[in-house]
Structure 1
C-alpha cells in the first residue's frame, strides 16, 4: 500500500468521525428541546440510547484515525507491512482489508486462540 492509499483510508475515517460528531451534537440539541424528564418521556429513552450508540461509533472512528496515523508513521519508518510479533510480511490482502493492522494472519490467529 502506498502513502496515498493510506491517506485515503484516513480521510474516510476522519470524515466518518466528523459526521458522527455532528450527529451527536444534533442529537444533544434535539434532546435539549424536549422534556428533561427521561423517565416519563418515551422519546427520552430512545434519544439516550441513540446518543450512546453514536458515542460508541464516534469513539471507534477516532480510534481508526489514530490507528491509521500510526500506520502512516510505520510507512515513513519503513516498517509498514511487517508483523509486530514475528517480523514477517503481512499479506497485501490483509493490508487492503485492514490497512492499520500490525500483525500477520498467523500471529493474529494465535493471539485470538489464547483469549
Structure 2
C-alpha cells in the first residue's frame, strides 16, 4: 500500500458508499413492507420478523456509516501526511495491516481503546 494509500482508500470508500446505498434501499423496502402489512409487532409472529429485519438492516447501515467515517478520517490523515503512522506509539503501521484495514489508526502492538 505504500505510495498508493489514496487509491486503496478511495476504492474502499466507494465500496462503503455502495453498501450504504444498498442498505438504504433494503431499509426502505422493509419499512414499506411493514406499512402495507397489518402485522402487530407485539402479537403477530410476522410483525416480530419485520421488526427484527428492520433492526438488523438499521444496525448494518449504522456499521457501514461508521466504516465510511473511518475511511474519510484516513483520507484526512493522508492529506495531513500522518497516514500509516500509529496514533499511539508513532511507529509505522505495517503495509500488510493497511492492506487488510486501510483505515487502521494503530499498529497491532498498540491497543485501539
TM-score, normalised relative to structure 1:
0.90
Structure 2 contact 85–91 (Cα < 8 Å) conserved: yes
1:19 counterpart (14, 22, 39) = 22
CA distance in 2, matches of 1:57, 1:69: 18
The alignment's C-alpha RMSD in Å is 1.2
Q: Match for residue 31 of structure 2?
A: 28
8 A contact 1:35–1:41 mirrored in 2? no
Q: Secondary structure at the match of 1:107?
A: coil
CA displacement 1:4-28 (0-9 Å, x = unmatched): 1110001001110111011001100
Q: What's the counterpart of residue 76 of structure 1?
A: 79
Which structure: greater helix fraction?
1
Give the count of matched residue pairs: 110
- Runs of 4+ more than 4 Å apart: none
**TM-fit CA distance, 1:104:** 0.3
For normalisation by structure 2, the TM-score amounts to: 0.92
